[in-house]
Structure 1
């Protein structure tokens, strides 16, 4: 009888197995360790002890563990009641504290738009034919029939324009006369029409022009009818104008008269659209040739005789009373609306969907409105749910095959369901906790369940692989160890591996959460929380279910019908079901041939070639961002945008100059210089220039000399009030917001905000539009404008289409920043835990197995590949299966994610299973101190040898016996058992071990 010293017996904890260590050389090995190796060993050893105890505890109390997991998940899931989905591009891809984001929010609150516009494009080989005109009239009539709650229809909801036939003889009808409302009072809450729509200008200056080209328009004459008739008479006419619904449609040229349109000829259509330039409804000049697009053909006279498309518009007005009282609602794009408007827009979308299906052959309709983005985003949730359900079904079959064996007892369908349930529970935890913390859910987050599915399955395979390495055939080779003890041993090794990979994932996403882009930040936070949740659930919920399922297996119960129990002689597993063919692939093929000299040379050459190709590919990387990528490519909105780009490519990008609290009487010279610079810039397509119109009007009628001689504030307000109700200036009136109301003939109250619409020219990518935007911003910052002594003096450029440009401006720096920091965090994490900075993720499992083996570098690399290689391959392939359904996604963003992630998986598996083992066999670091030798490797097949077993005695002493492992009656020493290098330390007798000499 004898006992061993501390250097010979290492006890890892209650009820644990202890490694038999070589008593010689222990101190020298410890002394030769670096500080980092000591830290790493301490961390790894602590984790091993923790996970042994954790596995033992969970397997001892599986029902309690399962109940706790479900309870905690349910509590976390309550946060989903605070779930908020965000789809506004400026809220997702622009830094919250950026000037652009603040200005966008300010303009929405200060200058809300009173109008919402719906658009449709009708295409055909030639739209100037009777068939197309009848289709357009049919659309008009069906839109008029839309009714919302309370019986309101198009006539009661539309945005009405005044009928101004008395002014139709002017040389050019200004756009502004469209705004001579029947109520001539202009209030301080009049909004910016354009900002109510993300897709086009609500008011097209070219449409109200007699010119038939798409060139920028010149300014009005300074002549004013206020000097032809007295103010009182002129304003009385304005106050009594009738109004009609504003709908831009070529059918307007025939007053929407069905009898006339049904009898049209192509010649008549061509004549009217080219020469009948006065609207029979409004009496204003119109230019419908500006609404034609595509392949426009003109004859020798310059007449448009053929076009591929025509643009239609319907404008509905927001209830002005509600708008002034602040009782309007904000839709999910951030724009104001009332309930009737929102309901009408949704019904319009449904109608246009039906109309587009019933188009005659050769004629197509594409449409969009302010509700489209949100309507499509919500509709895709169902599609995402279907894809996720299909993904779970595919994973169920794959995981079921890989976890179980092909017999009715050792198949594991219930355990497969439990493992997949961890992913669903992790999603609930992630969504609940993040929603509870008011973290919004963006479009990128839809990928999260697929990501967690791949990561969760990976953890499950590692746990299962470690179990199989230790206890491969529990039915044919029974173990004396209890299920909790065996589960503790499996988790002792699997827990460290999945902890390292999970920590690296969390570190990478945690760094991503520091990004300045809110949409990406949201995704990273959701992902980090989800990864932590799936890790904890796999280590607890899955392990508990595993313990219960293992008890079922050892009780020989049917895997599908649990009430069927087989006796020992009734069920003997067939031999082929006990084979792991994937393990055989690694043992007999990959580990055998991968380490030959020629194979190593080939692998290194292939890796270097891949490195060269990818480095060259990075030089071709093109920066671009478009929020439309998050919508399905076959959605009606995507199709509309595509056709808009195809048929109307030269119209440029609508934007606005916004000036708030500017002292205009002292700023004309500065503003004049800014506008001259903009007009001379090759970045600007056209400018709706109220300043030049006002300057010409005032200098011609009031003998002023703007900008050379400043106006007094009182004169500026007086002349501006007349200008905004004149034919020359009325088109600009919606873009002025004053401190109070004013009517025709009155002086303008103190001016607060002025907006000037303009268009950037068409650009070819960020390399052009980023410098153009920077140039405009620079001009405004150096404009030297004089501001009033009020809060919020502003002078900036904005526009809904500029969101993508602002994102392009920061995304390049964010890309390299986040990738670099993520790589650094992964390296630091693995370096601290494994004392090696050359591995991550897939490679982590191989490296960890390599570091725990002794022997030559090549033998350790082979052993590591055999031990954990199958689990790594299963994990990688299962991750690919988790995202494979994204390959059929209609979203460009999700298709790109699938392509990129697939390449990451393939490269990760190649580096982890092929390149890293070859590299380790040549340059691998020294193993951990006290690592298992090859003969004593925990995962290796046991060779008969002598081991030490400790037995309790009644006098509180410990008897240590040397037993021959060839004892066939003791499963602990069976040649088929992998526990030879371990000492069985009974939990209840651990405290009885005394340190005496043999």
Structure 2
């Protein structure tokens, strides 16, 4: 069957212009008479449709003719346009901070995160190792821990070692004042601890404190009897040591002692040593034990399967204050260059050590502050290699499908040009969006796959229309020039790719209304990118087609284009002249699915898919984890998994942040809040400075906090002393005052204070969302008083809140975006096709595809998260393409419903199949990605391609053959004296079109009978 002439005004050799009155049916082998007047009694709406579609087709003819007439100028203009748009990349911003991508920027969490980042950046960064063994309380394991300690102490960065960049605390072990010196100091004791007045009651309190002191009381401060100047001089002269949480601290990191430890000595020290021999502060290293913990009859811990060791490094405060800090990739936390460099060396040392240990005897999992950013960047680099390989696979497929299997009609350079359109569109998209300050988020890395899929689909549609109209340019000489033929082809293809491009753009544009910044960025980039792809396909690709077609008709080699053949030298092999995909559609697929049994089977299978996958949708769970963006074999993911195994009862860390609190007035309410926090089901540990300060103040100054209020002045004095004491110095990092805290001076008014807490371990969103919200409610209901006019607040904050708040809204956002995109797509299709029934059927195909994809997500082990949400938005854009092409081709075909469905499938079906399959080839390598995120994207898009093609190429033609609408009203050619000749696709039509300037017009504006049509020739109306 000759499939040329998809539409009544673009018919092939059997359907010429004069054949409008007598159309041969090549399928049924019958001839049917059509009255020309049957197409003329149009309604006003029909006349509008005729006028609109005619204008669109006429525009694309002129466009294609103009581009093909000046291909090199067009290519130059495209490259110049790309260069100009690419200048916007100077403003390119890559955004990887979770709080800038995953939560609404108007939410309290976004505001609090920004506020903390700007006002209270963390002065400390941590690195952690989890050692695992059958029993970690053995000399062998402790020797391994010491091996790691020595490796860390030997790390040198820019001439600085561990003890020079670590976060340090004063060494206060054994600090007491003997009675003789105390008496000598008492004679010079002034009434001003911090260079300000203190009343006699305070003095009496101190004396009473000294008299009641017990040396084993950790809250008794014997140093209070010393003059401030002497005390501070003494404090400043104290040695300081690196703050780390390690059981080796019990032996002061002495290698000789540790190598000679016995298991009994380890057990005794771990259980009974409660004061650090280095810092003199209370310690309890049993809290760092995890896994299976074994105790004896005395309640002593005698065995555990894991122990956690922590190292801390200091962030340069000067860099933080002067804006010279460096942002940590992936988390957004501020750091300095030296601390980041040290963490890099630390990770390298841990990786080397991990390679040397016996994994059967000891497990070793580690993480540092920069781990997330490093692993994420490495993962992106590896993913980019997959993207490039995907492009290569698609290039091979496109090259095979665009041309024919011989040395002349193969089109490798045209294939490369078509794929390059996606690359050029990517540059233009990033340039334009960057110009307007739109950040490029981590989700946007799937954009190349989208642009490539859409671009290749457009390319196949254009080439399919070309092949339908001009199937054999080597064997047959056509009268029309290459620009004329390209114009005629684009007249047909242009309308089709315009419909799909505008619907795709509309779907993504409405998706940009989401509150999730990452998804919004992706949708805007995608909407701009799709229009850019469309632009380059109808300019850059068309220009390259004109150049390549000239090469082909000059019989030049497809690869070595300077090699030319004569007709006698090279005759293309016969089997390369057939389109086997088109033969499959024409001879097999249409006959099977459009038969009565075939239609019944297609409808039943479609309903079966729908029923099974509806059940999957109802069971689909919602979950999100930022670790899914990372390689699952990376050290950070292994650490997180080990932490879940060994420490299942502890969850994520967080802080209660107090801003501009009037503490003296808030102590009673805060006392109640602390009690509720410690009793809360969601909280594993809460360590507020208030508890130790209350005991310290009540013990040393005879206050009665919280029962008796103290003055703000006294609070500032006592707090200043507390923060430089043995028990309170560890809290100093959690305060920010109006002036820097200094020993010997009263603490200035406190602006910000933070109190760390730790969640219990949650097993999913059904636990962590209620846990987070219960904490927020608890904090909100705290009875706190704030400084007048300060706008103070008390709020909880944790880095994991970003994921949890995303979990809370992502399901609603998914259904909202899919629904809005679907509505927008249907409206767009209607206004482009002007047929309600086809619009409805396309909508049904999209809805069924989305439902089926959701079901496959469940059966394939996926959940609703940011990646699958993005993939489902992409699904609407892709699957509507598959349906819209068939729907438009059906409307523009004549004959019975079965005949029109057959013709639509035969003419445009191969292009749709090639577009879908090439998209699948482009993503197939994602199946081997290291990240759960890209694996999810592969699974979802695989389902999209399969079900999109099923509904577009199988279900929709069957539906149209049963209840499809009438075709568009027929239009014909009329001389208008415009742009260059527009010959009909049928080159043997009985009308002499030579030297005529014509365009398509509604039949109702011309003669109404077949006799008139055949009689009127020359320069008049046809």
Deviations 1:530-570 (A, max 9, x none): 22222111111111111111111111111122222111122
Deviations 1:255-278 (A, max 9, x none): 333333344444444444334455
Alignment partner, residue 637 of structure 1: 636
Deviations 1:427-481 (A, max 9, x none): 2222222223222222211111122222211111111111111111111122111
Alignment partner, residue 1019 of structure 2: 993
Aligned residues: 897
Distance in 1 of aligned mates of 2:675 and 2:459: 67
Alignment gaps of 5+ in structure 2? 1-7, 23-33, 178-192, 195-215, 843-879, 974-983, 1000-1012
Q: How does 1:399-438 map to 2 (within 5 A)?
A: 399-438=398-437
| 1:370 paired to 2:369 | yes
1:118 to 121, 127, 146: 127
Shift of 1:611: 1.4
Alignment partner, residue 970 of structure 1: none
Distance in 2 of aligned mates of 1:714 and 1:268: 48
Structure 1 residues 350 and 41: CA distance shift in structure 2, 3 A: farther
Find the residue that maps to 1:658 and give its secondary structure.
strand
1:312 to 285, 302, 309: 309
| 1:251 paired to 2:260 | no
Check the 8 A contact 2:469/2:985 in 1, yes or no: no
Distance in 2 of aligned mates of 1:417 and 1:944: 31
Alignment partner, residue 826 of structure 1: 825
2:78 to 69, 72, 81: 69
Alignment partner, residue 346 of structure 1: 344
Check the 8 A contact 2:168/2:241 in 1, yes or no: yes
| 1:47 paired to 2:46 | no
2:897 to 857, 864, 872: 857
Distance in 1 of aligned mates of 2:585 and 2:10: 33
Find the residue that maps to 1:166 and give its secondary structure.
coil
Q: How does 1:782-821 map to 2 (within 5 A)?
A: 782-783=781-782, 785-821=784-820
Deviations 1:495-542 (A, max 9, x none): 111111111111111122221111111222222222222211111111
The worse-fitting range, judged by mean Cα deviation, of 911-920 and 595-604 is: 595-604
Find the residue that maps to 2:990 and give its secondary structure.
strand
Structure 1 residues 313 and 704: CA distance shift in structure 2, 3 A: closer
Distance in 2 of aligned mates of 1:227 and 1:316: 29
Distance in 1 of aligned mates of 2:752 and 2:544: 65
Distance in 2 of aligned mates of 1:71 and 1:457: 23
Check the 8 A contact 1:463/1:491 in 2, yes or no: yes
| 1:925 paired to 2:965 | yes
Check the 8 A contact 2:223/2:231 in 1, yes or no: no
Structure 1 residues 53 and 275: CA distance shift in structure 2, 3 A: same
Check the 8 A contact 2:627/2:637 in 1, yes or no: yes
Check the 8 A contact 1:92/1:520 in 2, yes or no: yes
Find the residue that maps to 2:478 and give its secondary structure.
coil
Shift of 1:20: 7.4
Check the 8 A contact 1:168/1:283 in 2, yes or no: no
Distance in 1 of aligned mates of 2:919 and 2:598: 28
Alignment partner, residue 741 of structure 1: 740
Deviations 1:920-959 (A, max 9, x none): 01110111111799xxxxxxx9999963224569xx999x
Distance in 1 of aligned mates of 2:951 and 2:626: 34
Distance in 2 of aligned mates of 1:19 and 1:726: 103
Find the residue that maps to 2:736 and give its secondary structure.
strand
Alignment partner, residue 163 of structure 2: 155
Distance in 2 of aligned mates of 1:528 and 1:320: 44
Q: How does 1:81-160 map to 2 (within 5 A)?
A: 81-149=90-158, 151-160=159-168
Distance in 1 of aligned mates of 2:487 and 2:99: 50
Alignment partner, residue 966 of structure 1: none
| 1:396 paired to 2:395 | yes
Check the 8 A contact 1:657/1:757 in 2, yes or no: yes
Distance in 1 of aligned mates of 2:9 and 2:891: 19
Check the 8 A contact 2:488/2:985 in 1, yes or no: no
Alignment partner, residue 987 of structure 1: none
Shift of 1:326: 4.9
Distance in 2 of aligned mates of 1:617 and 1:40: 42
Distance in 1 of aligned mates of 2:922 and 2:79: 24
Alignment partner, residue 5 of structure 1: none
Shift of 1:846: 0.6
Distance in 1 of aligned mates of 2:414 and 2:748: 75
Distance in 1 of aligned mates of 2:39 and 2:671: 81
Q: How does 1:146-295 map to 2 (within 5 A)?
A: 146-149=155-158, 151-166=159-174, 223-225=219-221, 229-230=225-226, 232=228, 237-295=234-292
Structure 1 residues 28 and 786: CA distance shift in structure 2, 3 A: farther
Alignment partner, residue 386 of structure 2: 387
Once superposed, what is the RMSD of the aligned Cα atoms?
3.3
Alignment partner, residue 29 of structure 2: none
Structure 1 residues 10 and 550: CA distance shift in structure 2, 3 A: closer
Structure 1 residues 38 and 290: CA distance shift in structure 2, 3 A: farther
Shift of 1:314: 1.7
Find the residue that maps to 1:417 and give its secondary structure.
helix
| 1:867 paired to 2:893 | no
Find the residue that maps to 1:165 and give its secondary structure.
coil
Alignment partner, residue 439 of structure 1: 438
Deviations 1:204-235 (A, max 9, x none): xxxxxxxxxxxxxxxx9895325874464665
Distance in 2 of aligned mates of 1:612 and 1:577: 43
Structure 1 residues 714 and 41: CA distance shift in structure 2, 3 A: farther
| 1:948 paired to 2:1017 | no
The worse-fitting range, judged by mean Cα deviation, of 808-817 and 549-558 is: 808-817
Alignment partner, residue 720 of structure 1: 719
Shift of 1:328: 3.3
Find the residue that maps to 1:949 and give its secondary structure.
coil
Check the 8 A contact 2:281/2:727 in 1, yes or no: no
Distance in 2 of aligned mates of 1:917 and 1:589: 14
Shift of 1:636: 1.5
Distance in 2 of aligned mates of 1:844 and 1:462: 12
Check the 8 A contact 2:429/2:532 in 1, yes or no: yes
Distance in 2 of aligned mates of 1:776 and 1:74: 52
Q: More helix per residue: 1 or 2?
A: 2
Find the residue that maps to 2:148 and give its secondary structure.
helix
Shift of 1:89: 0.9
Find the residue that maps to 1:841 and give its secondary structure.
helix
Check the 8 A contact 1:249/1:313 in 2, yes or no: yes
Alignment gaps of 5+ in structure 1? 1-8, 170-184, 187-219, 934-940, 959-982, 985-989
Structure 1 residues 943 and 552: CA distance shift in structure 2, 3 A: closer
Q: How does 1:7-86 map to 2 (within 5 A)?
A: 29=39, 31-33=41-43, 35=45, 37-86=46-95
Alignment partner, residue 755 of structure 2: 756
Deviations 1:374-428 (A, max 9, x none): 2122223331221122112211221111111111111111111111211222222
Deviations 1:874-902 (A, max 9, x none): 11100100111111111111111111111
Distance in 2 of aligned mates of 1:300 and 1:451: 64
Distance in 2 of aligned mates of 1:663 and 1:27: 89
Structure 1 residues 556 and 250: CA distance shift in structure 2, 3 A: same
TM-score using structure 1 length: 0.84
Distance in 2 of aligned mates of 1:488 and 1:367: 63
Find the residue that maps to 1:528 and give its secondary structure.
helix
Check the 8 A contact 1:10/1:19 in 2, yes or no: no
Distance in 2 of aligned mates of 1:679 and 1:19: 89
1:358 to 356, 369, 372: 356
Alignment partner, residue 655 of structure 2: 656
Distance in 2 of aligned mates of 1:734 and 1:794: 20
Check the 8 A contact 1:694/1:723 in 2, yes or no: yes
Distance in 2 of aligned mates of 1:19 and 1:342: 78
Distance in 2 of aligned mates of 1:561 and 1:222: 87
